[in-house]
Structure 1
């Protein structure tokens, strides 16, 4: 597939890294020559320096022959105009744009149509981040949670601590604590390194354990890895932007919420908006220790820092925890900060870039792939693939799981079959229309996985013959 990516920032360059090994012909466009050369030196791609919304730039990128345009520059207006040009001048079949501004998103049903601004798929990072935080609030103790099979299956990560029933025991003892539950441990990271997983692997305190489970069994599995935390009740949100506002609106009926905004005008507007809700709005510096003391931050179950400034988010969360807040979730834009904070100073950190790339990959990848989630900040992936074909025209349908020649670093986690959810064993047979969830630690082998799970070309000719 010929793909043009507009914008070589964190998301654009990250997307190149994911797609370059998947039989795609990629062209990356950006104004910054040095940034383009750094990426070109790492990957075998074409780069074009220029303004992403100029017809000449798109022509230099061979837009006439492109299958897909992905507009992820820092400007909504450039992204939208580029998609318009891709539609009007170059007839590009699929156009994806990242849109940040809430005003555009609030009118998306009218704006983003072929008769107005022809964008086929919109990626809204702020909405994705808000939804991710809402899920984490529902499951105390979970550090990442992604959904598959229309929300029926969850892949989650939990830190193992002394007090968890399985900590200090081997993986094969898990069945003693989760009888008849739909749960499987899929990966263990020890000191940030993936370890070899087998039934005799002993789970140690400090391990980061990834597992898949039916949605209703996530808390059960969490309880085997650490002492189960009570549900959150009191939450403080730092920030007054769209993420903070929408998050407060989403959770205010179930939780006691305090919202902290530094700008007096914004704080007054938010106070008016939340006047008839349980949300308390304060205008203050989130690093003001006296304010935090007066507002009993030590009584907070969770502090969520989601301003547009990484340093403010980090410092406000650290200070709140120092003064007694139990847990902290921090929004971080720059990956460099994430690496610095891997020492448990912050409980959970969320990257808009990760959420954006997951959404982009879900829209870009084909061959039966219906959902993609980046895990552990890009080190791994969760893939959901719907199987098609039949025994004669597939390498997986009608085969035992034990007989599948899965690429290295890829494992089957779970199967959704109509209304049934399965944790497959060696003798499980895959069927047509099964939805299979994979854990991928070797992303370079995704191309081989897609080849393995896709029906043979002869399947479609056979279907055509039957139809005639």
Structure 2
């Protein structure tokens, strides 16, 4: 497939890396010559320097025979115009735009985005994606990562194993014997900064970060087995009153269990705007780094503190101060994935990577056809893929034990109709089944082949 990616920032870079690694023809467009030079030197991609919205630049990038344009520059307007020109001038059949400004996304204007008006097939909103990720973290406070699959019937949970975990040094095969009715599978393990798909004989060690694919009804029990307890959250402090913080606060206000929310925002104008739009949330104007202000917000009595300002270092430091003040759960928004190793050293509980959430959303639409959901793990090291099995798929009609999955692939769950099953070696995969698999990034093309969902559009 031939893809033009407009914008060589973090999101564009990650998408280019993944698609180029899957042997697609990728061209990156950006006004920054240094970013283009770096991309063409490190990745197997072509580069064009210039404004993505200019027709001559798109033509130079190969738009006349491109299958897809992904507009992920820092300008919403450039992204929209790029998609329009790709459709009108070059008849590119698939167009994805990243749009940040919430005004463009209000329900009353949704009919703007169609072939007759603004020719955008898919809109990705980083702020909404990050807000949803934050709400999922708050819903599963003992996890460092979480994502929903199988229409809400299953979750992928990232769990850091501490000394309190009762199943340390237990082979995974033995866990199945100890808990035969538990619908949960350890699909991935990060140890010594390396992510891998475990074998049945592998043991879990202290400080491992595991990815657990679990039936939603078994989440509470699964967390208990790995030494985690669920905590009811009645008081939440949000630091940062921009689009992400505001969206989370609105969602918390809409809950029926009356969560008490306090918000801290440094910019007075933004704080006043947030206060006008919220009904039960107390908004404080001031610096989240101020210990007196944190005390006024009640972080020592809060069940969770969510820090979502636009500065990574501020988010990490505020989270540390909240932790020191006695808050049991801190969640920080961190754009730079190289800072992730600091989380354990700083004793922070969870982090949200906007790049990963945005990349996952884009991949979900790139893997068109039978793939229903994709979640990118770590720094693009692996994916959790949910796909529907077709009668012509190579795996259709076979038992799991007879399917030649690559070594870096594990089946996390199988859904037959409305029944969510724990995969066993003798589970037969049939047409119409939904299958969730963990795949290291190098094995994604083979997973697509097995499901016959190579990246194409029809």
TM class, shorter-chain normalised?
Answer: over 0.9
Are 1:331 and 2:333 counterparts?
A: yes
- In structure 2, stretches of 5+ residues that fail to align are none
In the TM superposition, residue 89 of structure 1 has moved relative to its aligned partner by 0.7
**Which residue number corresponds to residue 98 of structure 1?**
98
- Cα pair 1:178 1:221 within 8 Å, conserved: no
- Cα pair 2:410 2:437 within 8 Å, conserved: yes
Bigger CA drift: 47-56 or 342-351? 342-351
In the TM superposition, residue 453 of structure 1 has moved relative to its aligned partner by 2.4
Render the CA deviation track for 1:272-328: whole Å, top value 9, x for unaligned. Answer: 332x42x11111211111222333321111110111122221221111111211111
Paired residue secondary structure (1:169): coil
Paired residue secondary structure (1:326): coil
- Cα pair 2:237 2:262 within 8 Å, conserved: yes
CA–CA distance in structure 1, aligned partners of residues 277 and 296 of structure 2: 24
CA–CA distance in structure 1, aligned partners of residues 409 and 200 of structure 2: 17
Are 1:451 and 2:449 counterparts?
A: yes
Specify whether residues 183 and 344 from structure 1 end up closer, same or farther in structure 2 by C-alpha distance, changes over 3 A only: farther
In the TM superposition, residue 175 of structure 1 has moved relative to its aligned partner by 4.0
- Cα pair 2:195 2:381 within 8 Å, conserved: no
CA–CA distance in structure 1, aligned partners of residues 47 and 88 of structure 2: 23
Question: 1 or 2 for the larger relative contact order (CA 8 Å, sep ≥6)?
Answer: 2
Bigger CA drift: 125-134 or 342-351? 342-351
Are 1:172 and 2:173 counterparts?
A: yes
Specify whether residues 219 and 108 from structure 1 end up closer, same or farther in structure 2 by C-alpha distance, changes over 3 A only: farther
Once the two structures are superposed, the pairs formed by residues 185-264 of structure 1 within 5 Å of their partners are 185-194=186-195, 197-252=198-253, 253=255, 254=257, 255-264=259-268
CA–CA distance in structure 2, aligned partners of residues 452 and 267 of structure 1: 51
In the TM superposition, residue 355 of structure 1 has moved relative to its aligned partner by 0.6
CA–CA distance in structure 2, aligned partners of residues 351 and 375 of structure 1: 10
**Which residue number corresponds to residue 265 of structure 1?**
269
In the TM superposition, residue 367 of structure 1 has moved relative to its aligned partner by 4.7
Normalised by the length of structure 1, the TM-score is 0.92
Once the two structures are superposed, the pairs formed by residues 67-146 of structure 1 within 5 Å of their partners are 67-106=67-106, 107-146=108-147
In the TM superposition, residue 444 of structure 1 has moved relative to its aligned partner by 1.8
Paired residue secondary structure (1:150): helix
**Which residue number corresponds to residue 466 of structure 1?**
none
Render the CA deviation track for 1:238-263: whole Å, top value 9, x for unaligned. Answer: 01101111100101243211101112
Specify whether residues 14 and 131 from structure 1 end up closer, same or farther in structure 2 by C-alpha distance, changes over 3 A only: same
CA–CA distance in structure 1, aligned partners of residues 431 and 453 of structure 2: 10
Counting matched residue pairs gives 451
Normalised by the length of structure 2, the TM-score is 0.94
